[in-house]
Structure 1
Amino acid sequence: MKKLRLVLFAATMLTSAAYAGQVSVTWLAPEKYTDIKAAVGTDNVFQDVVTGELGIVFADLAKKLPDDVKWNVTVTDVDLAGEVLHAKGVTGKDVRVIKDVYLPRMSVSYSMVDGKGIKIAEGSDEIKDMTFLMKGPHIASGHTVLKYEEKMLQDWFKNQQRDNKFPTK
């Protein structure tokens, strides 16, 4: 499974590089993230799935950058939408409960350089989406299973471009 995710991510990166900006994502100590816990399965496997899925989201966002831009992102924390609750009862399986009080959050730092190596953006953000359950069925692209986090990142990126913090094509 991990190899498949890496192959898919690499394929996305290669197609992105040909037609858009490039992104490099570093996951800083994901085992210490606030919430990257599996409701079913092991945390290590789930961690690989989450970083792979979010890597795809960052690669999709890089397609909206000019061709010569190189974007470096360091993710320092992830708190997925919902909360894993330990189930009691017949199945005994844990379950991720999605409620508005368990909003998605992510801490990132980033830098961007143009084709000449000139820094065009740099910063850190605490990204969160307090209205993630109010956005209706058009919540994300369907490219990942992390629809709330994907939409949160899409909105953040769009706002960065709108505010001229990130370049547009």
Structure 2
Amino acid sequence: MRKILLLCGLTVLATTAVQAGEVKVTWQEPEKFTDIRPANDNRKAYRARVIKKFEGFFTDMASDLPQGYQWDITVTDIDLAGDVDYFAGGAGNALRIVKDIYSPAIKFNYVLRDKHGEEVANGEEKLRDMSFMQQLRSSNSNEEFRYEKQMLQDWFKKELQPKVEQYAQSLPKVSGPTP
């Protein structure tokens, strides 16, 4: 029984390893971004936390790319959902107020290459989700930067994944020797 469970576990690992692109994220002057201001945190520490979270978002998306793909991203601006109000918290405590008028946005350039280094897709993206407050909330509705994450995942599914699939279909079919 143990051998069967171990074999099943290895099969699952082998299947997930097939889908495993890599990502390299570069941050172009994040100190000048439109809005990655903290409410009640050190500015530098908050910026580092934002960068780490967004790198995690891109890494998660890259895991859905074919094995050997390299996705290079240069983030040029972020405008987090909401706006920091330094008077709303009272007694010197600021709050990030999230309303429809403070929609999340991100700007980035990217190049996606296949395992042979051939360019699959590239572009300059300027994403803004004006309807971020109208979406259904899931169990992770308290997750930090959830609106930005959803916006990036939506773009990835609608824009980048179809380009990867189209590229894969355009490759010549390699046939092996016939028996």
TMscore range, shorter length? 0.7 to 0.9
Aligned counterparts of 2:153 and 2:139: Cα–Cα separation in 1: 10
Name the residue aligned to 1:6: none
Name the residue aligned to 2:159: 160
TM-score when normalising by structure 1:
0.82
Identity of aligned residues (%): 37
How many equivalent pairs are there? 152
Seen in structure 2, the aligned counterparts of structure 1 residues 68 and 27 have a Cα distance that, compared at 3 Å, is: same
Aligned counterparts of 2:89 and 2:98: Cα–Cα separation in 1: 20
Gaps of 5+ in 1: 1-15
Q: Which has the higher contact order (CA 8 A, sep 6+)?
A: 1
Name the residue aligned to 1:3: none
**Alignment RMSD:** 2.4
Aligned counterparts of 1:18 and 1:49: Cα–Cα separation in 2: 30
**Letter paired with 2:50:** V
Shift of 1:89: 6.9
2:22 matched to 1:22?
A: yes
Structure 1 runs (4+) greater than 6 angstroms displaced: none
Q: Deviations over 1:81-110 (max 9, x none)?
A: 000011167432111000000000000100
Name the residue aligned to 1:87: 87
Are the counterparts in 2 of residues 139 and 151 from structure 1 also a CA contact under 8 Å?
Answer: no
Aligned counterparts of 1:17 and 1:70: Cα–Cα separation in 2: 15
Are the counterparts in 2 of residues 139 and 147 from structure 1 also a CA contact under 8 Å?
Answer: no
Are the counterparts in 2 of residues 140 and 148 from structure 1 also a CA contact under 8 Å?
Answer: no
Are the counterparts in 1 of residues 89 and 95 from structure 2 also a CA contact under 8 Å?
Answer: no
Aligned counterparts of 2:140 and 2:108: Cα–Cα separation in 1: 20
Shift of 1:138: 2.0
Seen in structure 2, the aligned counterparts of structure 1 residues 90 and 62 have a Cα distance that, compared at 3 Å, is: closer
TM-score when normalising by structure 2:
0.77
Aligned counterparts of 1:89 and 1:53: Cα–Cα separation in 2: 25
Gaps of 5+ in 2: 1-15, 169-179
